[in-house]
């Protein structure tokens, strides 16, 4: 809100309007002793300002390369920001008092919250920028006039690069009533435009705009609502500046307007053959000079990961505690940190054996908007750093997936890698067979039931071959079933079922559908699970012989030597103990011996059993 007051001096009447930014003043009229009257908008806006502020924040553009435009501002940016010089995002969108803000190379955007809390509003620079920002008729988004703040505080940030000695202090000096121009009676450049900003002794005064800049400002894509609405009246003449960039001399012109300033490079041509023109990097310079606005988050508020990322011990990407995937839920602890331009949230999360774990996550990887219903995904290190280190030593020879049904969370390691199935493929063969006879509207006959029993409980290979080649249609039949139920990651072999390949994720997905009742009839599901609960004792390595006491285990192992005479060994199953159910699949290959493979499987399964039971 602007406050007007009148000061009467001898022979002079000065009308001041208080501009909220650091008590800057508009001098709207000045009547001299000689009776000359000057009326000008903004001409002496910073005439009394002497504040000088050196840039102090270490803001690195290297951390901004993967930032995206927030959905909060994407529509505005599409309609106004891309061509009108907002530039690329240099921060994430983050919550501040009464709204959200996101900084771009030039300027920043603010979206007010639906409910305004006056008690949380303080007289800060950001608050004043919001009050003086530009809002279109078709959006609630406010474009913040960062140039005004930089002129007010006298930023010493270098305009046109670090090799330049010209700063916002110098630009501020050029905003003066004494430097207003009068229209030329004759001109050698008829395309040069004079813009009136006031009068002096009855004569128009203002500033000239070059033909090149005038053409640029009048492009509909640059100023959708018109240059005067979007950028305001000119504050200065075009100011010449010479800088050296990458060893080449550039002859520049800088001209400031009420809400923006532009840099014209006479030595670089744009697509239209005219000098290249761009807005000043006011977003970067603002953050380097004034630092980051205060982030407003509430302790206990939920946030979610929106892509694969890591949790760190400190607010820096130096030491990762664990790795997570999309839609992982955290609880904010209420404190945040900025580090070289990157915003970090302090968060906590739970694991089965520990209710509260704490760490830091980059705000760029988080969203405060709840995703749709679905499980959480994390790497194995979130469950156990020791287990993750053990598996890391094995490398690509092992793959693990654990699905914690109670907490709807996956823990993975090489989850989509392909491994030799060996006898574990007998579970997909069984389920494909049940689906086949369901399509025929019948149950298995006695002979078929014998084949299923001996295949699963005794791991009989002849029974498997009979079902695979003579009943379900071999590789094509099993592949069709997996496609039907939406499970990816199985590559069945047409000639040797035991050398089919599968990912640990595919096996867990299959077993989860079976356990959760998403496939087959209830009767056939019960039969399949019962067979897997009664495998021979020597077929229970891994999931079975490491399960917690009293647990119910439905499982299937597999082992075979490959073409290289190295062993593939795996164990997969459904483990239920009390109210806890987890589904696990551990695959290994290229082991020197079967004992080596079994040792890996037992190590993983026993660790998981101790953590999830």
Phi, psi torsion values for 310, nearest 5 degrees: -130, 160
Q: How far is residue 146's CA from residue 256's CA, in Å, rounded to a whole number? A: 12
Q: Cα separations (Å) of 12 from 4, 9, 36?
A: 17, 5, 10
Point out the residues of the chain with pLDDT beneath 50: 1-35, 37
- Whether 524 is in a domain gets the answer yes
Rounded Cα–Cα distance for residues 178 and 155 (Å) = 22
Q: How distant is the alpha carbon of residue 428 from its chain centre?
A: 38
Domain membership flag for residue 182: yes
Do the domain assignments include residue 252?
yes
Count of alpha carbons within 13 angstroms of residue 365, beta-carbon side: 24
What is the distance of C-alpha 15 from the center of its chain?
49
399 is a domain residue:
yes
Give the end of a domain, one of 324, 342, 371. 371
Residue 2: predicted pLDDT = 38
We report the CATH number of the domain holding residue 367 as: 2.30.30
CA distance 259 to 256: 8
Q: Are 211 and 334 in the same domain? A: no
Q: Are residues 214 and 356 in the same domain?
A: no
The string of pLDDT tens digits covering residues 567-584 is: 999 999 999 998 899 999
Are residues 475 and 365 both part of a single domain?
A: no
Q: Do 331 and 455 have their domain in common? A: no
CATH value at residue 575? 3.40.710.10
Indicate whether 489 and 540 sit together in one domain: yes
437 lies in the same domain as 525: yes
Residues 355 and 268 in one domain: no
Using alpha carbons, select from 255, 272, 283 the residue that is nearest to residue 219. 272
Note whether residue 123 is domain-resident.
Answer: no
Statement to judge: residues 355 and 398 lie in one domain: no
Question: How much is the pLDDT for 221?
Answer: 85
- Indicate whether 22 belongs to any domain: no
Query: Which of 608, 612, 463, 452 has the alpha carbon at shortest distance from 526?
Result: 452
Residue 479 maps to a domain: yes
Structure letter (DSSP) for residue 83: T
Position 93 scores a pLDDT of: 94
Closest by CA to 114, choosing from 68, 71, 70, 72, is 72
What is the rounded distance in angstroms from the CA atom of residue 466 to the CA atom of residue 452?
Answer: 10
Adjacent-strand bridge partners of 134: 143
Same domain, 430 and 547: yes
| Cβ-based burial of 279 (10 A; exposed 0-12, middle 13-18, buried ≥19) | buried
Angle at 534 between CA 529 and CA 540, to 5 degrees: 105
- With contact defined as beta carbons under 8 Å apart, do 72 and 102 qualify? yes
The answer as to whether 108 is a domain residue is: no
* Cβ atoms < 10 Å from Cβ of 164: 19
The answer to whether residues 277 and 220 belong to one domain is: yes
Q: How many domains does the chain have?
A: 3
580 in the same domain as 474: yes
pTM of the prediction?
0.81
| Domain span holding position 205 | 170-281
Q: What is the pLDDT of residue 341?
A: 83
Do 505 and 401 share a domain, yes or no?
yes
């Amino acid at each position: 809100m602007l406050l007007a007051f009148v000061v009467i001096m001898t022979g002079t009447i000065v009308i001041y309007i208080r501009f909220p930014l650091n008590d800057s003043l508009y001098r709207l009229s000045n009547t001299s002793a000689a009776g000359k009257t000057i009326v000008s908008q903004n001409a002496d806006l910073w005439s009394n300002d002497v504040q000088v502020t050196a840039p102090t924040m270490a803001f690195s553009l290297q951390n901004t390369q993967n930032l995206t435009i927030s959905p909060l501002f994407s529509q505005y940016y599409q309609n106004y920001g891309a061509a009108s010089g907002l530039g690329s995002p240099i921060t994430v969108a983050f919550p501040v008092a009464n709204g959200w803000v996101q900084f771009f190379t030039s300027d920043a955007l603010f979206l007010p919250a639906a409910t305004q809390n006056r008690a949380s509003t303080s007289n800060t620079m950001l608050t004043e920028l919001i009050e003086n920002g530009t809002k279109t008729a078709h959006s609630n988004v406010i474009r913040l006039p960062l140039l005004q703040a930089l002129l007010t505080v006298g930023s010493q940030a270098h305009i046109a690069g670090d090799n330049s000695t010209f700063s916002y202090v110098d630009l501020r000096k050029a905003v003066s009533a004494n430097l207003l121009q009068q229209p030329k009676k004759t001109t050698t450049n008829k395309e040069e435009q004079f813009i009136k900003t006031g009068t002096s002794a009855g004569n128009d005064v203002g500033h000239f705009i070059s033909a090149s800049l005038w053409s640029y400002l009048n492009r509909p894509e640059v100023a959708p609502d018109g240059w005067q609405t979007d950028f305001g009246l000119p504050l200065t003449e075009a100011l010449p500046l010479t800088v050296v960039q990458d060893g080449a001399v550039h002859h520049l012109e800088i001209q400031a307007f009420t809400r923006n300033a532009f840099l014209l490079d006479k030595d670089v041509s744009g697509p239209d053959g005219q000098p290249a023109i761009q807005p000043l990097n006011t977003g970067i310079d603002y953050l380097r000079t004034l630092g980051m606005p205060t982030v407003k988050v509430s302790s206990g508020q939920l946030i979610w990961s929106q892509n694969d990322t890591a949790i760190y011990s400190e607010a820096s990407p130096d030491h990762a505690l664990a790795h997570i995937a999309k839609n992982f839920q955290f609880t904010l602890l209420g404190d945040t940190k900025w580090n070289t331009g990157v915003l970090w949230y302090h968060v906590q999360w739970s694991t089965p054996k520990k209710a509260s774990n704490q760490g830091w996550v980059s705000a760029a990887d988080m969203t405060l908007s709840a995703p749709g219903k679905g499980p959480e995904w994390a790497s194995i290190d979130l469950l156990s750093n020791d287990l993750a280190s053990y598996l890391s030593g094995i490398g690509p020879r092992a793959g693990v997936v654990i699905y914690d049904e109670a907490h709807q969370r996956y823990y993975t390691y090489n989850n989509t890698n392909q491994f030799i199935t060996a006898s574990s493929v007998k579970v997909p063969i069984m389920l494909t067979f049940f689906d086949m006879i369901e399509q025929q509207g019948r149950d298995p006959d006695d002979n078929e039931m014998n084949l299923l029993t001996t295949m699963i409980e005794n791991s009989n290979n002849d029974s498997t071959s009979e079902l695979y080649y003579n009943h379900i249609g071999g590789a094509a039949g099993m592949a069709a079933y997996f496609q039907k139920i939406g499970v990816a990651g199985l590559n069945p072999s047409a000639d040797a079922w035991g050398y089919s390949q599968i990912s640990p994720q595919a096996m867990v997905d299959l077993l989860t559908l079976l356990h959760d009742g998403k496939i087959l009839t209830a009767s056939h599901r019960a039969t399949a699970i019962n067979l897997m609960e009664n495998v021979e004792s020597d077929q229970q390595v891994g999931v079975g012989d490491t399960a917690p006491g009293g647990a119910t285990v439905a499982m299937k192992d597999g082992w075979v030597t490959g073409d290289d005479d190295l062993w593939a060994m795996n164990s997969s199953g459904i483990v239920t103990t009390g109210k806890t159910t987890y589904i696990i699949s551990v695959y290994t290959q290229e082991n020197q011996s079967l004992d080596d493979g079994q040792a890996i499987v037992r190590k993983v399964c026993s660790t998981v059993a101790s953590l999830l039971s």
